[in-house]
Structure 1
Amino acid sequence: MQSAFWVRRAHKWIGLVIGVQALFWMISGLYMVVVPLEVIHGDHLAHVPTERLLPSAKRMAASHLHEAYPGITSIRMKNLLGTEVYEIKQGQQAILVDATSGEKLSPLDRDKIIALADAAYVGEGSIKGVEWVTKAPQELGSRPVPLWAVHYDEPGLTTLYFSPHTGDLVARRHELWRWFDFLWMFHIMDYEEREDVNNTLLRTASITGLLFALSGAWLLFYSFNRRKKA
């Protein structure tokens, strides 16, 4: 009898503690189920245009690239706004080079970024601002800066982030993504970086939830046994 009293009391208080977090788990989980992942990723807002690269005798030879840019670790050819370019990596640094002349093109200026954004964006808004980002906002996580941010004037408040070194579309951010990120923070209980899915707080909440379930199961069987005896 005494044990049932303490288990019942523990069950009640554990329920009060874990109940709020359980509600957040359900709300965030519902959002993740209702809103498709491709929408969260912003695939409907911007795409990366691709053009087939054809053989050309005008391209600069790779051996000449190594002479002009020592320390090359990798070379990739791609199309940038109708111009064939080499993306060269020298360790952690990346630069763009005109495939014909060998001229260094990066970092890309504001006008080039606007042209890249116009080519990628498929939404209905118009550009309301272009920002040179040197300190990554929360929505970019650990992505390296600097980056160009192109902001659009539309209900979803879309922002496209481009690398000035490679011209790549690094991230698509909009209101549905930001709501996802906010709810994800509560879902995994990482209130700082929003990335650690194995943090101490989440493990503690999970163990507490398990204790709540076990105490409830014990009380359920206890009540059945008590009725049988009665």
Structure 2
Amino acid sequence: MWTVGGIYFSFSDIDEIHGDHQRKPGGMALESNLELVSPAEVMTQLPGTAMITSLKLIDILGTPHYQITYHASDDHAAHGSGHDQGQAAARTQLAVAASGELRPALSEEEATELARQSFVDSVGVARVEYITQENMTGHHEYRGSALPAWAVTMEHPTQTTVYVAAEQGVVTKFRNDKWRVFDFLWMLHTMDYQGRDNFGNLLLRVFSIAGIVTILSGFALFFVSNGASRKNKVRPHDRRRPVIG
């Protein structure tokens, strides 16, 4: 299965695996005379303990928004423990850039429309689901990305699901059938049947060592058996003619 997976990996277009060909090209273009409030006005509305780590201007369905990522230490004080003590929980806040008004996370309707606009083909929507944690039933394919998120599955032969981060207001991932085959073979390759990305798991280490031992023993067996066969072989000049009569 390692070999089969390697063949699939080497013959696959990684851009198609990632769904890049299904993402509509182009991005947000803003006019130079656009009137926006100062980001400082928005940041004054955040909690007093907020530490800003990122500030972006993004487009959500044709409307410019500020996307502010910050750390709120008071949130962590209530939920954190262990070696994470003293660190802050990361949050993302959206605000209408024209007015500075804070707004909630994307609704189902907004996320669905954003997914439709980002998809290259004009297709319908098969279903929409709201996910709040990784490895939820049917959505193990959405890993290492912002949560909560909307999973918008398109009515398309590739069964593509477009994931939209609700609090960030952006499309994060495309997942299609080619990616799912890739992910299944990747799971067999790494032998991490839960997270799929842990190369340091014990099972993989044991099988890797066993594989090396098997290869070395195969070479050893070849040379030993080949040497024994040469010793047992009767050379032509050592043969004696049979005595007749």
- TM-score relative to the length of structure 2: 0.77
Larger radius of gyration between Structure 1 and Structure 2: 2
- Residue 196 (structure 1) aligns with: 198
Structure 1 residue 134, shift from structure 2 partner: 2.6
Q: Distance in 1 between matches of 2:63 and 2:228?
A: 81
Q: Which amino acid aligns with 1:45?
A: Q
Residue pairs, 1:28-177, within 5 angstroms: 28-47=5-24, 49-56=26-33, 58-70=35-47, 71-73=50-52, 74-91=54-71, 92-123=90-121, 125-136=123-134, 137-177=139-179
Output one character per residue of 1:134-184: Cα deviation in whole Å (capped at 9) or x when no partner: 343211134343211111112211110101111111221111111111111
State the 4+ residue runs in structure 1 displaced beyond 3 angstroms. 53-57, 227-230
Structure 1 residue 226, shift from structure 2 partner: 2.4
Q: Distance in 2 between matches of 1:42 and 1:55?
A: 32
- How many residue pairs align between the two structures? 207
Tell me if the contact between 1:44 and 1:123 (Cα under 8 Å) persists in the aligned partners: no
Q: Distance in 1 between matches of 2:122 and 2:70?
A: 38
Q: Which amino acid aligns with 1:41?
A: H
Gaps of 5+ in 1: 1-23
Judging changes above 3 Å, is the alpha-carbon distance between structure 1 residues 144 and 32 closer, same or farther for their aligned structure 2 residues? same
Instruction: Name the structure where helix makes up a greater proportion of residues.
Output: 1
Q: Which amino acid aligns with 1:84?
A: P
Tell me if the contact between 1:127 and 1:150 (Cα under 8 Å) persists in the aligned partners: yes
Gaps of 5+ in 2: 72-89, 233-245
Q: Distance in 2 between matches of 1:160 and 1:90?
A: 26
- TM-score relative to the length of structure 1: 0.82
Output one character per residue of 1:182-217: Cα deviation in whole Å (capped at 9) or x when no partner: 111111111111110122111111111111111111
Structural RMSD (CA): 2.0
> Equivalent pairs: percent with the same residue?
32
